[in-house]
Amino acid sequence: MYAVRRFVVRHSRAFEWIYETFEPVLVVLDPVWSKFGYNRLERPVAIAEHAIKGFLFDCQMCGQCVLSSTGMSCPMNCPKNLRNGPCGGVRENGNCEVKPWMKCVWVDAWDGASRMKGGDKISTVQPPVDRSLEGSSSWLRVARERAAEKRASRDADRQAMAEAFPEARAEEPAAAPLAPEPPNAQPMQEADESTTVMSTEKT
């Protein structure tokens, strides 16, 4: 697994693209997740997520995945679980002070981030690990949060429109008044009768 996760870091740009393609799919499927119930899907999705991410990243299933912000190097593989950069014990060769055979995950993180289009996200300060989320699916959490953000954005747009056009919102389309008739317009039936009379007179 260690060799695989080093491979992923070396090809972090490709895995960034895969994630950028995968995340929108998760969000679009929010109605499906909601229909089945996020709680009911939690366990099977978490098992699948652990199998895939465990193989690729040595994922520890913290439930708060930040791989896209750490060069595809999981900070939970740090023996000290440091989420915002390396400790002061990194060896001269870039290896971990606790596990001398292992490259410091943050050395790998900077390497991976330098290859990524969004590598500057490594400067984002990460909050402390919420231990209550351990073992949960970060995929489902991202889908639920992004979908909620989109709904909130749409609601905000509707509210802004309603506030900008209060008079238009006051009338339902079905109750809107008809446009006034032109001053010289004749009712359709009268116009037909006039045309018939004129045709008869000509004959």
Alpha-carbon gap, residue 11 to 6, rounded angstroms:
9
Give residue 83's pLDDT band: very low, low, confident or very high (50, 70, 90): very high
pLDDT of residue 43: 94
Model pLDDT for residues 106-145, shown as the tens digit of each residue: 999 999 999 999 999 999 999 988 999 999 999 999 989 8
**Residues 6 or more apart in contact with residue 83 via CB below 8 angstroms:** 66, 75, 126, 127, 128, 129
Give yes or no for residue 178 having a pLDDT over 80: no
Report the predicted TM-score, pTM, of the whole model to 2 decimal places.
0.70
Give yes or no for residue 197 having a pLDDT over 50: no
Model pLDDT for residues 5-18, shown as the tens digit of each residue: 999 999 999 999 99
Residues linked to residue 95 through DSSP beta bridges, in sequence order: 103
The span from the first CA to the last CA of the chain, in angstroms, equals: 99
pLDDT, mean of residues 183-192:
55
pLDDT of residue 150: 84
Residue 83 vs residues 78, 87, 199: alpha-carbon distances, Å: 9, 10, 91
Burial of 109 (0-12, 13-18, 19+ CB in 10 A): buried
Scored b (16 or more CB within 10 A) or e, 50-64 reads eeebeebbbbbbbbb
Contact 89, 36 (CB under 8 A): no
Residue 203 vs residues 69, 101, 193, 199: alpha-carbon distances, Å: 88, 110, 16, 6
95 phi, psi to nearest 5 deg: -90, 165
Contact 27, 146 (CB under 8 A): yes
Contact 71, 119 (CB under 8 A): yes
